[in-house]
Structure 1
Amino acid sequence: MIQLIVSDIDGTLLPYGETILSDDIFSLIQQLKERGIPFCPTSGRQYHSMRSLFPALADEVPFVCENGGVVFGPGKEETAPIWASIPMERETALTLAEEILALPQCELLITGAKYAYLWHQCPQEYVEHMRDFKGFQVKIIENLEEVQEDILKVSAHCPQGTQSAEDHLGPNWSHVFHMAVAGHDWLDFTMADKGQGVVELCRILGVSPQNVLAFGDNWNDVAMLSAVGHPYLMDSAHPELLKQFPTTCHRVEDVLRHWLDTGELL
């Protein structure tokens, strides 16, 4: 029995490089709602950015944001309840941020529930990418202490790939925070992971994780896919992930439509 559906966004619902979700997914989410099945987007993205992808439904669905760092219930952006939040220890997170600033060919991203904070010396193209392409609410800072809200995620944006940043940061930081590759150019650090966010969402909704259908495509989805009873991995995922999660699909919409039509999973 499926009682809840959760899905990653980038690389899963939204192909990399694109900015608009398919019309199909909105129709399917509405059909799920009519059958009493909640749909929840789960992402490393900021809440504001996630909402912008679901303009007609943003007030009606919960969101697991910042790789599980914060869970928002349905509602208007200004008043939606925070159902759960797992912030990073502030001083430790800022120390990590300093190390990322020192890395060559990497840019820093610090995110709270409301804003994404970018370093004042970062390239203008990076600011535009985060603000205009990703849809984040951005603040430019000249001092790390300007981040006043709880820190939910610290990330290194690595346009040349994440391996160098993983090699440098992993030995000291992977045991302090959850470290996860999110796409080919992002290395994320959080106190939470998507699995914790989804399990907390299940607790709030009174749903067993075994009755959850989840979709993901990357390493930061592993905890979520491992936590649920019905995990689907995108068939474009890394070969090592495909070994771990053999049930795959090419489009989330195809699985949802088949299940709605037949009551069976592909």
Structure 2
Amino acid sequence: MVKLIASDIDGTLIPYGRETLEPELFPLIHRLRAAGVLFSPASGRQYHSLRRLFAPVADEICFLCENGAILYGPGGEDTAPILSRTVMARAEAGDLARAIWGLPGCELMVSGVGTIYVCTENEGFIHLIRDEKGNRVERVERLEELPEEILKVSAYCPGGTAAPAAALGPRWGGPFRMAAAGPDWLDFTLADKGTGLRGLCAGLGISLADVMAFGDNWNDEAMLEEVGTGYLMDTADPVLRAKFPRQCRSVLAVLEDLLKELEA
């Protein structure tokens, strides 16, 4: 029996190029909760950004954030329990960040527990991650100024992720998990969404066999491999589609079908 729904956001619940969820999702989450099924976004996004995105239901859902590097149980923004966090070694994360900083055409983003740190004068990039994505952002002059633990280091690659991945992967794809998180984001963490989902299930006392998950990209692969029922979006990379034959066009349509069974 399904007891937890975990869903990626960008490219899965929200098509690329859009910034808001379908309003029909929130009543579905309420109905799932009434039927005994928890919901959790599973995203590379920051906790604050996800709470803003899911504002109508934010206090009653779980959150798998930063590609699984930090997990929150249900509750208010300042009171929800942190179920787990996976911190990057500061020296190695700093070296990786400097490598990204040196890549032409890329912007660096370093994620702490509650704040994203940038070292840039590019106001367009800051507007994107602060105002469009809803993150808490702080600009620092030097990476050594970061006042908290590092959960994720990311490269924003408006020209695509292929060249940055080829440049960074041989050195940094071993110490960290490197994954494309969309057409223009390359993320590095110690955790992945599979790690995060295992931690979330352990904290909630739910078996992975009782989880239904949705994703569309390579940073969702580990999560889809872990769960009892995994759906890949039918717009995904053909290589991923060959690996995950259970596919869908709409998460909301699958949830509606699940609720018909649960509420029957």
Task: Determine if the TM-score, normalized by the shorter chain, exceeds 0.5.
Answer: yes
Conserved 8 A contact 2:35-2:262:
no
Secondary structure, aligned partner of 1:15: coil
Q: Deviations over 1:221-251 (max 9, x none)?
A: 0000001110000010000000011111111
Alignment partner, residue 142 of structure 1:
141
The TM-score normalised by the length of structure 2 is: 0.98
Matches within 5 A, 1:93-172: 93-121=93-121, 123-172=122-171
State the identity %: 51
Give the Cα–Cα distance (whole angstroms) in 2 for the partners of residues 219 and 120 of structure 1: 28
Q: Deviations over 1:191-218 (max 9, x none)?
A: 1000011111111111110111000000
Give the Cα–Cα distance (whole angstroms) in 1 for the partners of residues 145 and 249 of structure 2: 43
Alignment partner, residue 51 of structure 2:
51
Alignment partner, residue 226 of structure 2:
227
Q: Deviations over 1:102-144 (max 9, x none)?
A: 00000000001100111133x1100000011111100001010
Give the Cα–Cα distance (whole angstroms) in 1 for the partners of residues 147 and 45 of structure 2: 19
Secondary structure, aligned partner of 1:58: helix
Give the Cα–Cα distance (whole angstroms) in 2 for the partners of residues 97 and 175 of structure 1: 15
Alignment partner, residue 178 of structure 2:
179
Give the Cα–Cα distance (whole angstroms) in 2 for the partners of residues 19 and 126 of structure 1: 15
Q: Deviations over 1:44-66 (max 9, x none)?
A: 00000001111111111110000
Matches within 5 A, 1:1-266: 1-121=1-121, 123-263=122-262
Give the Cα–Cα distance (whole angstroms) in 2 for the partners of residues 146 and 80 of structure 1: 28
Secondary structure, aligned partner of 1:83: strand
In structure 2, list runs of 5 or more residues that go unmatched: none
Q: Deviations over 1:10-46 (max 9, x none)?
A: 1111111111111111011000000111011110000
- What amino acid is aligned across from residue 203 of structure 2 in structure 1? I
In structure 1, list runs of 5 or more residues that go unmatched: none
Conserved 8 A contact 2:107-2:120:
no
Secondary structure, aligned partner of 1:215: strand
Give the Cα–Cα distance (whole angstroms) in 2 for the partners of residues 17 and 55 of structure 1: 20
Following superposition, the deviation at residue 263 of structure 1 comes to 5.0
Following superposition, the deviation at residue 146 of structure 1 comes to 1.4
Following superposition, the deviation at residue 259 of structure 1 comes to 1.2
Give the Cα–Cα distance (whole angstroms) in 2 for the partners of residues 66 and 240 of structure 1: 24
Give the Cα–Cα distance (whole angstroms) in 1 for the partners of residues 154 and 261 of structure 2: 41
Give the Cα–Cα distance (whole angstroms) in 1 for the partners of residues 193 and 85 of structure 2: 12
Give the Cα–Cα distance (whole angstroms) in 2 for the partners of residues 142 and 38 of structure 1: 41
Give the Cα–Cα distance (whole angstroms) in 1 for the partners of residues 256 and 171 of structure 2: 45
The TM-score normalised by the length of structure 1 is: 0.97
Moved over 3 A (4+): none
